[in-house]
Amino acid sequence: MADKDDIKTGKDFGLGIRQKNKAFFLKGSGALDWGMQNRLARIFNPKSGRTVMLAFDHGYFQGPASGLERIDLSIAPLIPYADVLMCTRGVLRACVSSETNKPVVLRCSGGQSILSELSNETVAVDIDDAIRLNAAAITTQIYIGAPYEHQSIKNLIKLIDTGNRYGIPTLAVTGVGADMKRDARYFGLATRIAAELGAHYVKSYFVEEGFEQITAGCPVPIVIAGGKKLPELDALTMAYKAVDQGAAGVDMGRNIFQSDCPVAMIQAVSAVVHKGEKPKKALDMYNTLKARIEAKGKGKRKRKK
């Protein structure tokens, strides 16, 4: 029963002190509702305004790709160093501990494979299931200029509308088909279309020419995918250039989990993204951490013998 005795009348109203109405830190997100902003503030670090998303959703059309054969073994050790996990609901339920407090961006499209037309996707998760899984955001791919362009855009619109109903943001991924030109014109077009349709943030690829125009022309944050595996210094340089030219972080997969030392690589990427560490310094950090991890591994093996 509510206690009615001894109710003290409030006296401390801070008269003369204006109530603060702090602007939300994230580009293009100031007019969103509290739940939406709160989820985005879990994805993007409010201090740096950036994020390191660890992408391991590749299996939904690639099968057990290199580095993702055993997600319980390869991805679990990386989770403490990631800001966000991006994966499918199948892998989330089967291989990721529900005790993790990392926000999850849920892959909500599927229906194709590397053996068929990549743009032929459909929405593959119901919003009810995304809510059950406590998704911080939902995501699908749009394939601009591909055979199923219209269908993929419809998928995005559906996710945005259902997510808006429950305060769950949508990440639009700009998909690239095998024959598509990956230049600033293409990504400028694709990212802008996604934002205009209401995506809360957009994943693109980094391009050497004109990336700044892509981020400037997109009214919501852009994160970059890592793409195919590069030498560590090249991947760190790409991340550095991307954030320097307006990206709000990375959604990186292969350049982390296919690295010689993924645990060291994700920490080096994080230093670049959140602290603006220069690529060569970040590579030194990678090498130092890698040496430490390898020494520890050798020590353990010796003790076992």
By annotation, the residues acting in catalysis are 203
* Number of residues near ligand R5P (by CB under 6 A): 13
Task: For ligand R5P, give the closer residue by CB, 172 or 195.
Answer: 172
Task: For ligand R5P, give the closer residue by CB, 195 or 252.
Answer: 252
Indicate whether 226 belongs to the interface with ligand R5P (CB under 6 A). yes
Pick the piece of the chain touching ligand R5P (CB under 6 A) from 1-9, 44-52, 89-97, 223-231: 223-231
Task: Write out the binding residues for ligand R5P, residues 252-291 only, by CB under 6 A.
Answer: 252-255
Residue type (1 letter), 144: I
User: In 63-181, at which residue ranges do the beta strands (DSSP E only) sit?
Assistant: 84-87, 104-107, 109-110, 122-123, 137-142, 170-174
Task: Write out the binding residues for ligand R5P, residues 232-251 only, by CB under 6 A.
Answer: 251
Among 82, 123, 138, 173, binds ligand R5P (CB under 6 A): 173
Indicate whether 86 belongs to the interface with ligand R5P (CB under 6 A). yes
Say how far apart CA 80 and CA 65 lie, in whole Å.
22
Among 29, 40, 57, 221, binds ligand R5P (CB under 6 A): 57
Indicate whether 225 belongs to the interface with ligand R5P (CB under 6 A). yes
Nearest one of 243, 192, 258, 219 to 54, comparing CA atoms: 258
Indicate whether 159 belongs to the interface with ligand R5P (CB under 6 A). no
- Evaluate whether 104 touches 72 at the Cβ level (below 8 Å): no
- Evaluate whether 220 touches 247 at the Cβ level (below 8 Å): no
User: In 6-155, at which residue ranges do the beta strands (DSSP E only) sit?
Assistant: 51-55, 84-87, 104-107, 109-110, 122-123, 137-142
> What are the residues binding ligand R5P (CB under 6 A)?
55, 57-58, 86, 173, 225-227, 251-255
